[in-house]
Amino acid sequence: MMKLIAESGSSHTSWVLIENGKIIEQQRSDGLNPYFQNRREISRSIRLGLPEEFFHKKIQHIYFYGAGCDTETRKNTVKASLISQFRTPVTVESNLVAAARGLCQDKPGIACILDTGSNSCLYDGKQIVSSVKTCGFILGDEGSGSAIGKSFLSDVLKNLAPEELAHTFYKQNYTNADEVMNAVYNEPRPNYYLAKTAFFLTPHTGNPYVHDLIVNNFRSFFKRNIAQLPYKDYPISFIGNVAHTYSDLLLEVCDEFSITPAAIVESSLEGLITYHGNNFQTP
pLDDT digits (tens, 9 = 90+) for 16-56: 998 887 888 888 898 888 877 888 888 998 998 888 888 88
**Within 10 A of 188 (CB to CB), how many other CB atoms are there?**
8
Specify whether the CB–CB gap between 272 and 63 falls below 8 A. yes
* Stretch 93-105: mean pLDDT: 93
Burial environment of residue 185 by CB neighbours within 10 A (0 to 12, 13 to 18, 19 or more): exposed
Q: What is the pLDDT of residue 56?
A: 86
Rounded to 5 degrees, what are φ and ψ at 125? 100, -15
pLDDT for 230 beyond 60: yes
9, pLDDT greater than 80: no
The model's pLDDT over 113-154, given as tens digits with 9 standing for 90+, comes to 998 889 999 999 999 999 888 767 677 788 999 999 999 999
* Average pLDDT across the chain, whole number: 90
Pairing, β 128-131 against β 118-123: antiparallel
Report whether pLDDT(247) > 60: yes
Between CA 28 and CA 31 the distance in angstroms is: 9
What is the average pLDDT across 228-235? Answer: 93
pLDDT of 267 strictly over 80: yes
Query: Beta strand 22-30 with 12-19: parallel, antiparallel or unpaired?
Result: antiparallel
pLDDT tens digits, residue range 159-215? 999 999 999 999 999 999 999 999 999 887 788 889 899 999 999 999 999 999 999
Query: 131 and 121 in contact (C-beta within 8 Å)?
Result: yes
According to the model, what pLDDT value does residue 133 have?
80
Is the pLDDT score of 280 beyond 70? Answer: no
Closest CA to 194 of 234, 231, 252, 242: 242
Phi, psi angle pair for 164, to nearest 5°: -65, -40
Q: What torsion do the CA atoms of 118, 122, 128, 130 make, to the nearest 10 degrees?
A: -90
Give yes or no for a contact between 92 and 66, defined as CB atoms under 8 angstroms apart.
yes
- What's the confidence (pLDDT) of residue 10? 67
Exposed, middle or buried by CB within 10 Å (0-12, 13-18, 19+), for 82? buried
Average pLDDT over residues 250-261: 95
Residues in the chain, overall count: 283
DSSP per residue, the chain? -EEEEEEE-SSEEEEEEEETTEEEEEEEEE---TTT--HHHHHHHHHHHS-GGGGGS--SEEEEEETT--SHHHHHHHHHHHHHHH-S-EEEEEHHHHHHHHHHTTS-EEEEEESSSEEEEEE-SSSEEEE----HHHH--TTSHHHHHHHHHHHHHTT-S-HHHHHHHHHHTT--HHHHHHHHHTSS-HHHHHHHHHGGGGGGTTSHHHHHHHHHHHHHHHHHTGGGS-TTSS-EEEESHHHHHTHHHHHHHHHHTT---SEEES-SHHHHHHHHHTT-S--
**What's this model's pTM, rounded to 2 decimal places?**
0.86
Fold held by 2-99+269-277: Nucleotidyltransferase; domain 5 (3.30.420)
Average pLDDT over every residue of 219-235: 93
